[in-house]
Structure 1
Amino acid sequence: MSHPQIRVWLGDITRLDVDVVVNAANSSLLGGGGVDGAIHRVAGPELVAACRMPGGCRTGEAKITPGFRLPARFVIHTVGPVWRGGEQGEPELLADCYRNSLLLAERRELSSIAFPAISTGIYGYPAEAAAQIAVDELRCLRPPASSLKELVLVAFSEEMAELYRRLLG
């Protein structure tokens, strides 16, 4: 089994030069606010065209497109759960976002992937609970043939970066 390096990066995910950035998307995949809006703005109008997929994307799923004008070669779009108190499957759905994104990156034989704090913005997921799920999923051992070498947790605030660092120990 393989264990890629996990690191925390404080800043704008659209500036990271990695193989793939993960977009905390809405189910239409056609852009929105927060991370989703920022990724769409930087990637350019080609991203909207590429995201016109029948059925969009369901919560917990992941779909991939080119990165277009981003430094990242690809974007993996995943739809996190809206926080409803934690008793409606939100933890499992959020974990699915990370699992399915990692699997998709491995299928494409990508080596570096950057994740925003999925569902912690407008979807209202508590930051500490979301960060713990992210850290737990990224710490899972990867298959021996995994292409992944670097996993990046991107924090837009110093508070979130500190939270990730504390949970990583």
Structure 2
Amino acid sequence: MKLKILLADDEINILKNLQAVVPWEELGVEVAGLAKNGQIALELAREHRPHLVLCDIRMPVMDGIEFLGALREFDAEAEVIMMTGYQDFSYVRSVIRYEVRDYVLKPIDYEELTRTIHRLAEGIRERSAEQQTIQQEWKQVFRLAYEKVLYDLLMDVGGGRPSRF
């Protein structure tokens, strides 16, 4: 299952490095969009519904925290990794309520980031496989119930009604 990721950072060099350095194909992840601020990221998230979001906290127009709050209004499932160049715990505290999966400090350790993305991608794939299994089981239950109702109706044709003959 190929996953989609949205990259959001106001520093163009970081966006370029993320595209070039992280082995997206090897991870089974496609970069669905690049955003230089939270407003663009929000538009792209609505359009592409990414499985993963890698987002800077401090950006112009709409920062990462505002973006995350708006994202959670329509997508509670996307896994989010926040990035920042600031080691201020208040940032971490402010994004915890939005169920951020990880927090990356700049300068970015790309090997560590790749491992984090790999771990999150595997978790998404596992949950997706579990959901598909559950859906298949429910389809089978409904099919069996439908067949049972039809069987009961067929076996009860004319049952309880007086015969005219």
Q: Name the TM tier (shorter chain).
A: 0.3 to 0.5
Structure having greater relative contact order (Cα 8 Å, sep ≥ 6): 1
Q: Give me the TM-score of the superposition, normalised by structure 1.
A: 0.37
**Rg larger in structure:** 2
